[in-house]
């Protein structure tokens, strides 16, 4: 374990920086031996680093329990979306490197157009580090191991840095805890491995400190360290590297302003160090940067399609979300609506007790430089996290001036930053203030304790208040762990084993249902578990629209009605570039729509069909009604259709919302699977050289999709275990079955209920 520096430090704003080994914002530390009795009371003992890491590791076990590190058979928090996408990236990089493929571009998904991996969260470094486990077991095991390691490694990185700035090991331990298990980490830990694996931002900040402030070693060595840390962070998340640079820029400006007399003396050393860092960084990231900016399938503009989609709320720092174990229901209910109601991005919470402690330490030690500096940087990070406009309690506020982020929001690379994610740095610098404050207070206790004084000082009201405040701080920051666990058996859908895919020839182009999108990407898991033996139409990835801007919807292939049937049936939000078309067995031309209020027995209403609204297409005067999870029915309405609702004075189609329960009276007609769509499916399969089809059962309207496929290309090659597989699709399209439609076999109907 590193021993803290023996060098004196600057303790007041007006002290000159007279030696090259003088840190700037660390507290005053006199080299005095601690009394033996006090040494025995140090909770971290003789090996504080090892014990700190042990505690961090022990806490991390609770996050995904009962999933264990390296568990190959279950995912935490969700059965799809970002979790599955991450597993796919962990599989892709080692596969690409072993097969001589470009790790920064692939057409194995979103075939035939492909995906620019450099512009997506490729996490190449984590994929390479975990490659042995991925290749020997599967990417699910690698993701679970990396998720487990993210918390203790991030916490220990902060601890390591703070041990360079403190003498009292428990102070650094508390700082590491506040950073590595902060609400930001707990929030991002639900979905985003690339954003929760953050040991390098503290190390980058420490490398800058060593280069510009302490100058204990040659500039080229400090610059080399800085460059390597930046390279490693780039290959985990280029966004986190960009946000680190965004926070460090004003931090360096503040440092120069506070010590402007020292700038000329240190300029040459600093410039040489930065030149070395750039000489390391640029060659090692040049190619992926080129792929990102000019490579195939790259998009232009913000990653979300528009700037600053998620900004921190002004009240986010004091309103806990449901991710906090002891959050009052009323407060968490308000917090859940902040940041565009995306709780998985709302990591700006600090808690009132922690804020009070931070302010107290800053006021207590205001005569020293470090609380002013660290507090200013923490405040800067918080203001930047607010984004380009102030939002308070979910409502935009008009100000006579622009927030700082508005000045840089449209710069290249910065336009892709989600401002709320800058909360990471607010948490880090608050942790710095708390750790240095505890260290300074510990030094004061040592200085005041004389040989004849009592071993234990009296418990004063002030000390009691601080102890209670510290206890409240700990309680308010306890995460609501473990995360909700959704077990996913590896294979084709939930009841299928990966061996089921062995019948698909290597190199096949596969059409899968559910069609891979950001809302249902399980087919990407099937592909990664099958060692990338086939390519997939569709994807969950950022890809360019026809206009060149970013979208999360896969490429629209012709005829678009076919993809609309496959996509809109399973996605929560339909692709706006596709017609609103869902596979249904029947349709109803509605003469009357009756809204059923809560508390009314639906069976008491006489109607053609009763169900919940699953989607509304106002343009084409259609909505979809779900009697249960698997059987949607198309409902067409017109100007003559009457809408009845006792709670609304003038009810109409504009009052239809998702999950509304309604009764429909009308005429039953054929569903959306028509002979024209059967011919369209054959054309789709032929145009895009599809050689195999996988149908996962047990999901929305799988029965009608199965009927559609049977009508177009005949009986499946393999059926059972929760899936159907059609092979030799090319010859099937050339020799289609004679009947235009075919009912689902009894086995399928039974499986779907």
Report DSSP state, residue 483.
P
Distance spanning both ends of the chain, measured CA to CA:
62
Which tokens is 200 given?
Answer: 């390098």
In tens, the pLDDT along 86-96 reads: 999 999 999 99
Mean pLDDT of the chain, nearest integer: 84
Nearest CA to 492 among 459, 519, 514? Answer: 514
Output the pLDDT for position 649. 62
Task: Give CA–CA dist 286/228, Å, rounded.
Answer: 14
Q: Does the pLDDT of residue 70 top 80, yes or no?
A: yes
Q: What is the pTM of this model?
A: 0.86
Contact 203, 157 (CB under 8 A): yes
> What is the tens place of the pLDDT at every residue in 382-392?
999 999 889 99
Give the separation between CA 658 and CA 653, rounded to whole angstroms.
12
Residue 730 is given by DSSP the state H
SS3 of residue 568 by DSSP: helix
Quick check: 81 pLDDT over 90?
no
Q: How confident is the model at residue 302 (pLDDT cuts 50, 70, 90)?
A: confident
Res 502 pLDDT > 60: yes
CA distance 126 to 147: 11
Residue 731: partners with Cβ closer than 8 Å, 6 or more residues away? none
Residues with Cβ within 8 Å of 281's Cβ and at least 6 positions away in sequence, in order, are 227, 230, 231, 234
CB of 593 within 8 A of CB of 643?
yes
Please count the other Cβ atoms lying within 10 Å of the Cβ belonging to residue 458.
6
Q: Which residue has the higher pLDDT, 657 or 725?
A: 725
Q: What confidence score (pLDDT) does residue 142 get?
A: 96
| DSSP string for residues in 51-111 | HHHHHHHHHHHHHHTTS-TT-SS-EES-SSTHHHHHHHHHHHHHHHHHTT--TTEESSSST
Q: How far apart are CA 520 and CA 540, in angstroms?
A: 8
**Whole-number pLDDT of residue 221:** 95
Half-sphere exposure of 376 (CA within 13 A, CB side): 17
Do the Cβ atoms of 139 and 88 come closer than 8 Å? yes
Residues 6 or more apart from 79 whose CB is under 8 A from it? 486, 488, 522
Nearest CA to 41 out of 388, 377, 446, 333 is that of 446
Instruction: Band the pLDDT of 671: cuts 50, 70, 90.
Output: confident
Only one residue has tokens 């058979």, namely 73
Taking the C-alpha atoms of residue 392 and residue 403, their distance in angstroms, rounded to an integer, is 14
How far, in Å, CA of 326 to CA of 675, rounded? 57
Instruction: Count Cβ neighbours within 10 Å for each residue of 684-696 and write b for 16 or more, e otherwise.
Output: bbeeeebbbbbbb
pLDDT tens digits for 250-269? 999 999 998 888 899 899 99
Please name the residue that has the structure tokens 């060595």: 221
| Rounded CA separation 597/603 (Å) | 13
Length of the chain: 753
**Nearest-angstrom CA–CA distance, 100 and 98:** 6
pLDDT of residue 739: 56
Query: Are the CB atoms for 585 and 711 separated by under 8 Å?
Result: no
Taking only the tens place, the pLDDT of each residue in 148-159 is 999 999 999 999
What distances in angstroms separate CA 437 from CA 23, 27, 510, 657, one per listed residue?
16, 8, 59, 53
Domains in the chain: boundaries:
36-65+148-476, 498-571+675-752, 586-670
Q: What is the mean pLDDT of residues 575-602?
A: 82
pLDDT at residue 15 is higher than 70: no
Task: Give residues with Cβ within 8 angstroms of 410, minimum separation 6.
Answer: 307
- pLDDT score recorded for residue 551: 87
What per-residue confidence (pLDDT) applies to 736?
Answer: 82
Q: What mean pLDDT is predicted for residues 191-212? A: 95
Could you tell me which of 266, 247, 246 has the C-alpha nearest to residue 256?
266
Phi, psi for residue 632 in degrees, rounded to 5: -75, 150
Query: What pLDDT is recorded for position 358?
Result: 95
d(Cα 266, Cα 20) in Å, to the nearest integer? 9
Contact 495, 551 (CB under 8 A): no
Helix axis angle for 48-64 and 169-180, nearest 10°, is 20
Mean pLDDT of 516-536: 90
Question: 365: cis peptide before it, omega within 30°?
Answer: no
Which of the residue ranges 163-177, 389-403, 572-586 has the most confident prediction, judged by mean pLDDT?
163-177
Predicted confidence at residue 45, as pLDDT, reads 57
Average pLDDT value for residue range 700-719? 88
CA distances from 109 to 112, 522, 524, 544 (A): 8, 12, 8, 14
The string of pLDDT tens digits covering residues 673-683 is: 888 899 999 99
- Average pLDDT on 162-173 reads 94
Looking at residue 165, its pLDDT comes to 94
Judged against a pLDDT cut of 50, whether residue 21 lies above it is answered with no
Q: 101-110, 207-216, 624-633, 671-680: which range is least confident on average? A: 624-633
236 near 200, Cβ under 8 Å?
A: yes
The residues facing 488 across adjacent strands are none
Tokens 């804020």 map to which residue?
355
Q: What does the pLDDT average to over 318-335? A: 90
Please calculate the CA angle 223-228-234 and round it to the nearest 5 degrees.
125
Give the mean model confidence (pLDDT) for residues 239-247: 95
Asked whether the bond before 559 is cis by omega within 30 degrees of 0, the reply is yes
Sign of CA dihedral 703, 708, 710, 716: negative
Q: What is the pLDDT of residue 420?
A: 93
Which of the residue ranges 196-205, 399-408, 730-739 has the most confident prediction, judged by mean pLDDT?
Answer: 196-205
CA distance 327 to 336: 11
Alpha carbons 523 and 511: distance in angstroms, whole number: 9
Q: Which run of H or E residues covers position 664? A: strand 661-670
Most confident of 83-87, 427-431, 632-636, 742-746: 427-431
Cβ-based burial of 287 (10 A; exposed 0-12, middle 13-18, buried ≥19): middle
Alpha helical stretches, state H, 105-237: 124-129, 131-136, 139-163, 169-180, 183-188, 193-196, 200-209, 219-234
Confidence bin at 713 (pLDDT 50/70/90): very high
User: What is the reported pLDDT for 747?
Assistant: 40
Residue 7 has pLDDT above 70, yes or no: no
- Angle at the Cα of 224 from the Cα atoms of 169 and 166, rounded to 5 degrees: 15
pLDDT at 229: 97
pLDDT class for 199, splitting at 50, 70, 90? very high
Token pair for 99: 């097969």
* pLDDT-derived band at 72, boundaries 50, 70, 90: confident
Confidence class for position 661, pLDDT limits 50, 70, 90: confident
732, pLDDT greater than 80 = yes
pLDDT per position as a tens digit, 404-456: 998 888 887 788 888 999 999 999 999 999 999 999 988 888 877 655 444 44
The three-state secondary structure class of 648 is coil
Residue 487 pLDDT grade (very low, low, confident, very high; cuts 50, 70, 90)? low
CB distance 687 to 537 below 8 Å: no
Identify the band that residue 547 occupies on the pLDDT scale cut at 50, 70 and 90: confident
């Amino acid at each position: 374990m590193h021993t803290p520096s023996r060098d004196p430090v600057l303790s007041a704003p007006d002290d000159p920086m007279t030696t090259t080994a003088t840190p700037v914002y660390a507290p005053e530390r006199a080299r005095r031996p601690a009394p033996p009795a006090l040494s025995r009371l140090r909770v971290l003992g003789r090996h504080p680093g090892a014990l700190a890491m042990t505690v961090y590791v022990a806490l991390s076990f609770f996050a995904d329990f009962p999933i264990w590190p390296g568990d190959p058979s279950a995912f935490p928090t969700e059965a799809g979306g970002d979790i599955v996408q991450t597993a796919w990236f962990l599989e892709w990089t080692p596969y690409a490197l072993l097969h001589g493929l470009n790790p920064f571009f692939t057409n194995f998904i979103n075939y035939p157009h492909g995906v620019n991996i450099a512009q997506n969260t490729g996490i190449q470094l984590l994929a390479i580090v975990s490659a042995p486990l991925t290749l020997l077991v599967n990417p699910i095991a690698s993701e679970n191991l990396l998720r487990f390691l993210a918390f203790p490694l991030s916490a220990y990185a902060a601890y390591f840095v703070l041990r360079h700035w403190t003498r009292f090991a428990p102070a650094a331990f508390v700082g590491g805890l506040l950073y590595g298990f902060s609400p930001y980490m707990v929030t991002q830990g639900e979905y985003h491995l690339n954003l929760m694996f953050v040991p390098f931002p503290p190390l980058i900040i420490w490398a800058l400190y060593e280069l510009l402030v302490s100058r204990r070693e040659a500039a080229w060595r400090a610059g080399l360290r800085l460059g390597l840390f930046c390279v490693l962070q780039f290959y985990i998340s280029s966004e986190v590297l960009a946000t680190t640079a965004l926070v460090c820029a004003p931090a360096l400006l503040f440092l120069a302003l506070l010590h402007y007399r020292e700038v000329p003396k240190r300029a040459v050393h600093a410039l040489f160090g930065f030149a070395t860092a750039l000489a390391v960084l640029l060659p090692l990231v040049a190619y992926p940067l080129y792929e990102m900016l000019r490579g195939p399938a790259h998009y232009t503009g913000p990653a979300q399609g528009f700037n600053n989609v998620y900004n921190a709320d002004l009240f986010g720092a004091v309103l806990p979300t449901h991710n906090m174990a002891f959050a009052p229901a009323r407060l968490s209910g308000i917090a859940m609506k902040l940041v565009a109601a995306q709780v998985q991005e709302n990591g700006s919470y600090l808690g009132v007790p922690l804020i009070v402690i931070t302010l107290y330490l800053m006021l207590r030690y205001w005569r020293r430089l470090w609380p002013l500096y660290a507090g200013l940087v923490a405040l800067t990070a918080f203001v930047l996290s607010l984004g380009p406009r102030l939002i308070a309690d979910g409502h935009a506020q008009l100000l006579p001036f622009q927030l700082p982020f508005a000045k840089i929001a449209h710069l290249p690379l910065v336009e892709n930053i989600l401002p709320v994610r800058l909360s990471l740095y607010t948490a880090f610098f608050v942790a710095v203030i708390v750790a240095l404050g505890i260290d300074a207070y510990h030094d004061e206790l040592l200085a005041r304790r004389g040989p004849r004084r009592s071993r234990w000082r009296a418990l004063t009201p002030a000390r009691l208040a601080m102890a209670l405040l510290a206890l409240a701080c700990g309680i308010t920051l306890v995460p609501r762990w473990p995360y909700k666990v959704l077990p996913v058996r590896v294979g084709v859908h939930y009841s299928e084993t990966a061996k089921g895919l062995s019948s698909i020839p290597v190199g096949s182009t596969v059409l899968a249902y559910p069609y891979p999108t950001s809302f249902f990407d399980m087919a990407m898991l099937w592909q990664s578990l099958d060692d990338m033996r086939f390519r997939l139409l569709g994807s969950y990835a950022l890809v360019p629209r026809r206009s060149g801007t970013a979208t999360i919807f896969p490429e629209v292939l012709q005829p678009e009605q076919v993809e609309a049937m496959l996509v809109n049936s399973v996605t929560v939000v339909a692709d706006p570039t596709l017609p609103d078309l869902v596979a249904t067995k029947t349709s109803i031309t509605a003469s009357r729509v009756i809204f059923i209020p809560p508390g009314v027995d639906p069976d008491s209403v006489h109607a053609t069909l009763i169900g919940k609204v699953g989607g509304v297409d106002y343009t084409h005067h259609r909505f979809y009604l779900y009697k249960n999870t698997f059987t949607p029915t198309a409902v067409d309405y017109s100007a003559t259709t009457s809408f009845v609702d006792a709670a609304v004075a003038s009810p109409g189609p504009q009052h239809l919302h998702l999950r509304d329960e309604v009764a429909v009276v009308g005429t039953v007609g054929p569903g959306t699977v028509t002979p024209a769509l059967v011919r369209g499916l054959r054309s789709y399969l032929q145009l895009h050289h599809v050689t195999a089809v996988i149908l996962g059962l047990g999901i929305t309207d799988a029965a009608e999709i199965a009927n559609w496929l049977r009508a177009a290309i005949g009986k499946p090659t393999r059926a059972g275990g929760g899936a159907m597989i059609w092979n030799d699709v090319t010859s099937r399209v050339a020799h289609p079955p004679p009947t235009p439609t075919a009912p689902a076999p009894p086995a399928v109907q039974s499986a779907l209920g």
